[in-house]
Structure 1
Amino acid sequence: MKDTNRNRVIILSITEGSLTPPEAAERFGISKRWVYTLLARYRTGGLDAVDPQTRRPHTNPNSTGKDTITRILKLRDTLTTQGLDAGPESIWDRLPEETRPSTSTIWRILRRHNTIVDQPQKRPRTSWHRFEAAAPNECWQSDFTHWPLADGTDTQIISWLDDHSRELLHATTHTPVTGQTVIDTFIHTMDVYGPPASTLTDNGMVYTTRFARGHDGTPKQPNGFEQLLADLGIVQKNGAANHPTTQGKIERYHQTLKQWLTADGLVATIAELNAQLARFAVIYNTQRPHRAIGRRTPHEAYMATDKAFPVVEATGHIWRVRYDQVDATGTISIRHAGRLRHLGIGRAWARKRVLLLVHGSETMVIKRDGGEIIAEHTLDASKDYQRKK
């Protein structure tokens, strides 16, 4: 017999029958104290009061407060409206430290209020295999994606992303992205961040022709971007065909970008779209902690470690490569022994782009086209201006 029915039978055998409490205790094999407890409950609350009572406490001092729950739900709505990630980790980052519950608690609150939809088809994170460059500038990923203007005009957004830190290094709009676009945006990004040791892209013709064949079946010559990387000693890596997860970081970045652009609204011109991308870069790099890099922002992760750089071997030495531009006075500036030094190249080379190779105190400046050495220096730490040999 269930406890609910049993307790009611005990009371009814006393109130409606002829049993006394001691007799009821003996009849049902329970203590007299329990019989008197049931009778007391019956007199104050009727038969419903004798049903088994839950042992759950009426209050829980460790439960999340209503104000915190309200703030969590409001943050969820705000982040979603802004087109930003609104998961438990993103909400956790934005809660005051003194009232911040765990991410699992935030997840349960979101699920309890029907703001999370279960996705059992997703692979568990424990099954993921992460590949990450060990230092900033060790590898840059690049790809482009389509995005419409308000009138439906199709545009293409090309981006460069640091593999180690997820720092968004460059994002601009083009119609369409061409091989020259790849070269120009890569050079612009190098001017700001320095050259990477390697690049990772898909097999699009704007990035590589190594897998293409001419009409006669012979391999095509390297395109301009491939030649530029070879000149700089930068390793070029390409993902396998039909395997976009190799470039998973920039593919995931595209999801975040499009989610934000959708929330921000379509614009009428390319200039306005580029302004949107500039605003997004600030948010993405400096205001949005990333779970994969220890809840730091990409900019924090990029600045926290020494940068990698490409190297080439020449004249028996390993040279650090820098892609540079001679200034209007015919010099190049580099930092050596804690101070800025000015390498004399010659006014004839003003505004020309060159390769600067550095090995200790030795430098070698090479013409970008043709590979001709146009200047060499042995750096003198006592002087700011360095005459070429």
Structure 2
Amino acid sequence: MSHATHVNAALTPRARLRLARLIVEDGWPIARAAERYDVSWPTAKRWAERYRRLGEAGMNDASSRPHHSPRATPQPVVRKIVHLRWKQRLGPVQIADQVSLAPSTVHKVLVRCRINRLTHVDRATGEPIRRYEHDHPGSLLHQDVKKLGNIPDGGGWRYVGKHQGAHNRQATRDRTGIKARKYHPKVGTCFVHTVIDDYTRLAYAECHDDETAATAAAVLTRAVVWFAVRGVSVERVLTDNGGCYRSFLWRDTCTDLGITPKRTRPYRPQTNGKIERFHRTLAHGWAFKKLYRSENARRAALAGWLHEYNHHRPHTAIGGSAPITRLTNLTDQYS
């Protein structure tokens, strides 16, 4: 393994080669060659010997990693450390007590195995999180539904307090005439149907009053058109196992659009984790960001927030760039 020469090195790989050839091939004395290149006698001798053994390839920097580490943690112990971390979520101190090692040594093993943080481990299964990303836009869409309670007239309890929030819910019930069981106020639910592209993280969303198969299929159809306008051809769509995604209408809609439908494994929402994480961003950035005086006001603000998310908001999963920037050069206009 080769590394770049540090900035203060007396000899670059090219200069080392010239120095070694003067000694080995041209017969210069080591002392004279060392003086010529302003290095010490041992340095000149070392590069000449490496040239004799390895040739031109030996002029590059070698890895500083030792060939043999007799005091390295034995592999059976490493496997036990990893097992305790995955299955019992123990920290370095607790693991060190069970394997009779120093906590610092256990921590180094966890870092080397990339499980030093519990966020790197799936809390449900104890297995390392397997991250994936498709290699081009449209290869895979994620679709799901985010359910939000409708905002009563005057604002919800998060901003006006529980007492005023209950009063607002009552006033909304008096206006709409909608009651729940036992005549409790009912303001309904907002079903936000969301679609994001796996590669670019571009997002499309619509607010509806239901999550039926007809609504989900219509959202997918409009989302495909929305992505097509931006030069993205959709190939697959991944959903959970909700009823609307198990319907014949959903299957037929995907067939008509030329899309392959896929579903996550039951009780395994992590597979669709990108859209689950998007829902959290959606909630903080739009749904609960400020006081909305009505549900209509909140729904009207969704389009503006989506534009901010797609075109301006830095996305940490794609290097701090906005999702729209990953659509650059789709038609090879810069290559």
TM-score (norm 1): 0.41
Query: Which protein is bigger by CA-based radius of gyration?
Result: 1
TM-score (norm 2): 0.48
Q: Which has the higher contact order (CA 8 A, sep 6+)?
A: 2
Identify, as 1 or 2, the structure richer in strand. 1
